[in-house]
Amino acid sequence: MQPLNLMPDAPWRQRFRVPVVAGTQIARMNPAHGLAVTNRTGIYQLHAWDVATGDLTQITDAPAGVVFGGISPDGKYIYYLADEQGNEIGHYVRVPFGGGEAQDLTPDMPLYASFSLAQSLSGRVIGFTTAGEDGFKMMTVEVGADDQLGAPQLLYKSSRLSYGPTLSFDGEYAIIATTERSQYNNLSLMVFDLRSTEAEQTVKILADDDGTIQPVSFSPVPGDPRLLATTNVTGFERPLLWNVRTRDRIDLPFVGMDGDIGALDWSPDGERLLLCQFVQAQYQLYIYDIERSTLQKLNHPGGTYSGGYFFSNDEIYVNRQDATTPTQLIALDAKTGQPTKVVLAAGDDAPGGRPWRSVSFPSSGGQMIQAWVAVPEGAGPFPTILHTHGGPTAAQTESYAPGAQSWLDHGFAFMTVNYRGSTTFGRQFEQAIWGQLGQLEVDDMAAARDYLVNNGIAQKDAILLTGGSYGGYLTLQAIGKRPDLWAGGMALVAIADWTLMYEDQAETLKGYQRSLFGGGPEEMAEQYAASSPITYASQIRAPVLIIQGKNDTRCPSRQMEAYVDKLTTGGKEVQIEWFDAGHGSRAMEQSIQQQELMLRWAYRVLG
């Protein structure tokens, strides 16, 4: 290890303070207006974006930050869920693009959790999902010619995890994605005709017997009833086009291509698709010409790409980052993929960092696991941080990660693992953990440790686990199930008891949890216990640090309090720090404080 550097101008602190552009949208019918999510003020907030000048005007000023929102197709309004201190329970509101008072879309409804809001490109229909004790409700709101909002109308209700609606251009059709036809997390689609005057209508269904179908968006052309979606029925994600009027379905299997191929966007003329291939957690963008059935690989730089969309028929806007480059919005030529400009830049004062490289190794059952590794200057073996990402339905790509670089600055090696359950490695890989969470993932973490030790990267007695959300859960699960392998664990906004968490968490996450387990704790008590770190608390040998949000409705406080009480009663070494926000920190200085806490803790534990 290098000497602990806590100086105010330490490079690791500077990286955290570099402003980044986390995401953008444009108003499809008025591309002079856009929405940007950035932490330029020190905490992530929504900003109105003047696309021509690049000027950003802060719209939200929530103490816990705001990272999810939308802009109306005409660019007049910005939408977001107004919650309390980051607890993700509240009401949708809209604010004029130029700023002003927030208007509640649902003033007469009780508070709700939600993770989806959309508006038809015509602007006449808004759709969103609410989740409460009575299940998932898909709602619509009519928007008048004078922008007046109608009363919310219930479109569909389900007790199973569901979201939507995805709306056609003129709001004639609405798509709902639901897990009703699966014991687990497989989605099917339901099509509703919003202009039907019948008391009961026949709902069209699109489902694959052994796969999941996810909607992306309708064609941006007025009157075009084609939906762009993806399916993993072949074992890997592939795009499809579905004419919801005629029920004609066209699959785009791309035989012979490796990995998942996701769908990002339509060109404004509805003639081409922006696609993204994921192979071993690495990105490659393509353009597919629908009429010609041709696929063109874009020659863009490496790195991680997210939130890509057609700005025009000739230009693509996409967020890009890599291990040493902060996230920023760039433009690509839609024919070649060559970068044409930086649209919204990140801060330009980021200290240099260490590169990441992709590695693979076998785990239990011979399953190959992909991970990213970075090493500090000098010769190994090193004390090592083994990181697991959140989700589990996510994947770790090469990212600008100030926390990872902080460890590297201090002489630690760093590995982050795409364990079984991660997306983009195929359906079988993702679904392997369903119904048995926290088992195969721990095998993969142990296999990662073997790789690190056998290749002279890690000191076998100085490997610390860390992760946030599901990654924090795996930190606690692994340190209890395989206590002989780890020197300690640092868990952020983590899960410790699936049953207690289910009782307290937001309804959106209850549905997600049921879909992962295949049922609730009342049906699957034994499996919930086997998957909970609290079950293995007595086996823990190494110190544990927990950083948890007081207002977190995804991983609520009571289940973590019970876990800490059990460790304390059992004489285990545990430290817990609470912060006043929800599921993770969106503020630069709070993230720096948490990283400093982990550094101090790691130096004390490893001596």
Beta strands in 408-555 (DSSP E): 413-418, 458-468, 488-492, 544-549
And the tokens for 464?
């610390």
* The predicted structure's pLDDT at residue 467: 96
User: Does residue 235 carry a pLDDT above 80?
Assistant: yes
pLDDT of the residue at 31: 97
Q: Is the pLDDT of residue 551 over 80?
A: no
Task: Determine which of 131-140, 400-409, 410-419 has the lowest per-residue pLDDT on average.
Answer: 131-140
Q: Which residue has the higher pLDDT, 408 or 502?
A: 408
Residue range 141-161: mean pLDDT, rounded: 94
Q: What tens digit of pLDDT does each residue of 9-39 get? A: 999 999 999 999 999 999 999 999 999 999 9
User: Over the stretch 35-63, which tens digit does the pLDDT of each residue have?
Assistant: 999 999 989 999 999 999 999 999 999 98
Residue 336: Cβ-neighbour burial (10 angstroms; 0-12, 13-18, 19+): middle
pLDDT for the residue 110: 92
CA-closest candidate to residue 546, choices 557, 532, 531, 554:
557
Residue carrying structure tokens 């790789």: 451
Confidence band, pLDDT 50/70/90 cuts, at residue 116: confident
pLDDT in tens, 434-480: 999 999 999 999 999 999 999 999 999 999 999 999 999 999 999 99
* Residue 586 banded pLDDT, cuts 50, 70, 90: low
Among 160-174, 436-450, 554-568, which is the least confidently predicted range?
A: 554-568
Alpha carbon distance 258, 277 (integer Å): 8
Retrieve residue 54's tokens.
């690049």
Rounded to whole angstroms, the Cα distance separating 274 from 318 reads 11
Smallest Cα–Cα separation from 332: which of 323, 342, 345? 342
Whether residue 584 has pLDDT greater than 60: no
User: What is the predicted pLDDT for the residue at 246?
Assistant: 95
Q: Provide the pLDDT for residue 227.
A: 98
pLDDT > 90 in the chain, percent: 80
What domains appear along the chain, each with residue ranges and CATH number?
254-350 (2.40.128.660), 362-606 (3.40.50.1820)
* Segment 264-284 mean pLDDT: 95
Alpha carbon 218 to its chain centroid, in Å, reads: 22
For residue 98, the model assigns a pLDDT of: 94
If residue 504 lies in a helix (H) or strand (E), which one and from where to where? helix 498-504
pLDDT of residue 161: 87
Pairwise pLDDT comparison (64 vs 214), residue with the higher score: 214
Residue type, 520: G
pLDDT score for 583: 60
User: Which of 403-407, 426-430, 533-537 has the least mean pLDDT?
Assistant: 426-430
Tell me the pLDDT tens digit for each residue of 482-532. 999 999 999 999 999 999 888 887 777 777 888 899 889 999 999 999 999
Sheet holding 162-167, edge to edge: 162-167, 173-178, 188-193, 204-206
Whose tokens are 């924090």? That residue is 472
Mean pLDDT of the region 302-330:
95
User: pLDDT tens across 120-149, in order?
Assistant: 999 999 999 998 888 899 999 999 989 999
Run of H or E including 474: helix 470-481
Give 378's contacts (C-beta < 8 A, 6+ positions apart). 411
Rg for the chain (alpha carbons), in Å?
24
DSSP code at position 233 = T
Q: Decide if pLDDT at 351 tops 70.
A: yes
